[in-house]
Amino acid sequence: MKFFSKKKTAFMVAAMLAGSFIFGGAESTSYAAVSAGTLAAASQMKNSSISNLTDDTRVFNVDKSIEVKNVRFQNRYGFEVAGHMYLPKNFDANKKYKAVVVTGPFGAVKEQASGLYAQEMAKNGFVAVAFDPSMTGESSGLRRNMGSPEIFTEDYHAAVDFVSNLKFVNPNQIGAIGICGLSGMAITAAGSDSRIKAVATSAMYDMSESIGDHYAGDYYTAAQRDAVKRHLAKMRDEEAKTGKSIRGAHELGVDAAGNIQTFDVMFPDKLPADANPVIRDFYNYYVGRAYHPRAINSNTAAWDSTTPYGFFDFNLMDNIDELGNKPVLLITGDKAHSKYFSDNVYAKISGNNKEEIVVPGATHVDLYDQPDKIPFKRLVEFFNANLK
């Protein structure tokens, strides 16, 4: 399979993880080679913990040869971020390893796509941490299912705090991966955090643009933006009066009559026969093969209806020049409806140490979990080359 790069380089990668997708907890799993106590003793970060994974609910093909531990660490706002730490084969706590931190997609959990990416990186010698952003999954937050460009970016910084303070990680060899809607946060964090030496994205979505401007070719008019803002103000006022969270769409539509189009569940129990192919792809992943009860996109509830506020207030790409010449790898598919996000970001990056890989035949969702489409080999090569 060929991957076409804007560096005009073609890469070959064999299909990995062959077989059907299984629910990780369907088989008993025992990771006894390295004790959680040994790993915890190697951590220099306060307000963090490492423990054994006793309830394995991962929804991808789990490689039983890769050890994984539960980890918890605080971001600078005091949110406890929940993660899974994947260890390389033949792990030796006395060695120094390269590390990557990864999360996404927007509304997913660490047991889904980010866990698969972390597992693949660990199979190739990296310490990898997949984590749930604040207020989602197992991470803390009194308000649940609330999205924030700033706090989610901070979660990347906190994940770097955690891995850089592990005695078995080289603090000068840390990278970040963002999948789908967390890609913008990964890029933003990499721009301001000198500890992140390289950043890669897969199936990128710029959530500030997607939420604040709607979708490419369907941008809000001034009147529509005003209608959306009035709707958001109404939702905030109602939440303030009731003290309760109100579910709603994180990306609001406006019909021809100026009415707001929203919803309080991400997907119906069953899609209509004429459903948009993109929606069907998402549905088949989140409600089908990768269903997880803690994932917003899999569950019966949508995001908190005031989630769009942060993305109207702050543009994730405003500080893209802060990347300078830091290495950036953008992975997309030639059939991905989201491809224009990667194209736009590639064009905006001022440095010349950038590359965009376009996977032939790959849709947006293919890059979540399809091993014959995700260029894991190239991803590993990118970090090995740039985490020196």
Does pLDDT of 1 surpass 60? no
Number of folded domains that form the chain: 2
SS (H, E, C) the chain: CEEEECCCCEEECCCCCCCCCCCHHHCCCCCCCCCHHHHHHCECCCCEEEEECCCCCCCCCCCCCCCEEEEEEECCCCCEEEEEEECCCCCCCCCCEEEEEEECCCCCCCCCHHHHHHHHHHHCCCEEEEECCCCCCCCCCCCCCCCCHHHHHHHHHHHHHHHHCECCEEEEEEEEEEEHHHHHHHHHHHHHCCCEEEEEEECCCCHHHHHHCCCCCCCCCHHHHHHHHHHHHHHHHHHHHHCCCCEECCCCEECCCCCEECCCCCCCCCCCCCCCHHHHHHHHHHHHHCCCCCCCCCCCCCEECCCHHHHHHCCCCCCHHHHCCCCEEEEEECCCCCHHHHHHHHHHCCCCCEEEEEECCCCCCHHHHCCCCCCHHHHHHHHHHHCC
Does pLDDT of 29 surpass 60? no
User: Do the beta carbons of residue 281 and residue 290 sit within 8 Å?
Assistant: no
User: Do the beta carbons of residue 17 and residue 61 sit within 8 Å?
Assistant: yes
**Residues ≥6 apart with Cβ < 8 Å to 350:** 320, 321, 323, 324
Look at residue 220 in the predicted model and tell me its pLDDT: 86
Q: For residue 133, say if its preceding peptide bond is cis, omega within 30 degrees of 0.
A: no
259 in the same domain as 124: no
Helices 113-123 and 376-386 cross at an angle (nearest 10°) of 60
* Rounded Cα–Cα distance for residues 328 and 243 (Å): 42
Give the least confident one: 87-91, 114-118, 212-216, 269-273: 212-216
62 in the same domain as 134: yes
Does pLDDT of 355 surpass 60? yes
CATH code of the domain covering residue 62:
3.40.50.1820
* Rounded Cα–Cα distance for residues 240 and 34 (Å): 48
pLDDT in tens, 135-188: 999 999 999 999 999 999 999 999 999 999 999 999 999 999 999 999 999 999
301 in the same domain as 155: no
Look at residue 78 in the predicted model and tell me its pLDDT: 96
Look at residue 138 in the predicted model and tell me its pLDDT: 97
* Rounded Cα–Cα distance for residues 25 and 6 (Å): 40
Q: Which residues pair with 331 in a beta bridge?
A: 202, 357
pLDDT in tens, 221-234: 888 999 999 999 99
Does pLDDT of 22 surpass 70? no
pLDDT in tens, 73-110: 999 999 999 999 999 999 999 999 999 999 999 999 99
179 in the same domain as 66: yes
17 in the same domain as 78: yes
Look at residue 4 in the predicted model and tell me its pLDDT: 42
> Could you list the residue range(s) of the whole structural domain that residue 295 is in?
220-310
CA angle 75–315–244, rounded 5-degree value: 60
Integer angstrom CA distances of residue 60 from 87, 142, 288, 371: 17, 29, 12, 11
* Rounded Cα–Cα distance for residues 75 and 161 (Å): 9
Look at residue 2 in the predicted model and tell me its pLDDT: 41
103 in the same domain as 202: yes
Does pLDDT of 215 surpass 70? no
Show which of 310, 343, 358 is a domain's final residue. Answer: 310
355 in the same domain as 328: yes
pLDDT in tens, 115-129: 999 999 999 999 999
246 in the same domain as 187: no
124 occurs within a structural domain? yes
- CA-CA-CA-CA dihedral for 172, 111, 153, 284, to nearest 10: 130
Show which of 310, 326, 350 is a domain's final residue. Answer: 310
Look at residue 361 in the predicted model and tell me its pLDDT: 97
335 in the same domain as 256: no
236 occurs within a structural domain? yes
**Residues ≥6 apart with Cβ < 8 Å to 329:** 198, 199, 200, 201, 354, 355, 356, 357, 378, 379, 382
Show which of 278, 310, 342 is a domain's final residue. Answer: 310
Give the confidence band of 14 by pLDDT, cuts at 50, 70, 90. very low
320 in the same domain as 277: no
CA angle 11–15–18, rounded 5-degree value: 170
* Rounded Cα–Cα distance for residues 218 and 212 (Å): 12
Two tokens, residue 324: 């300078």
Q: Which of 106 and 25 is assigned the larger pLDDT?
A: 106
321 in the same domain as 292: no
CATH code of the domain covering residue 306:
1.10.10.800
Mean pLDDT of 247-265: 90
137 in the same domain as 153: yes
91 occurs within a structural domain? yes
Task: State the pairing for strand pair 97-103/169-179.
Answer: parallel
Task: For residue 204, give the nearest of 56, 315, 364 by alpha carbon.
Answer: 364
Two tokens, residue 111: 């047991």
193 occurs within a structural domain? yes
108 occurs within a structural domain? yes
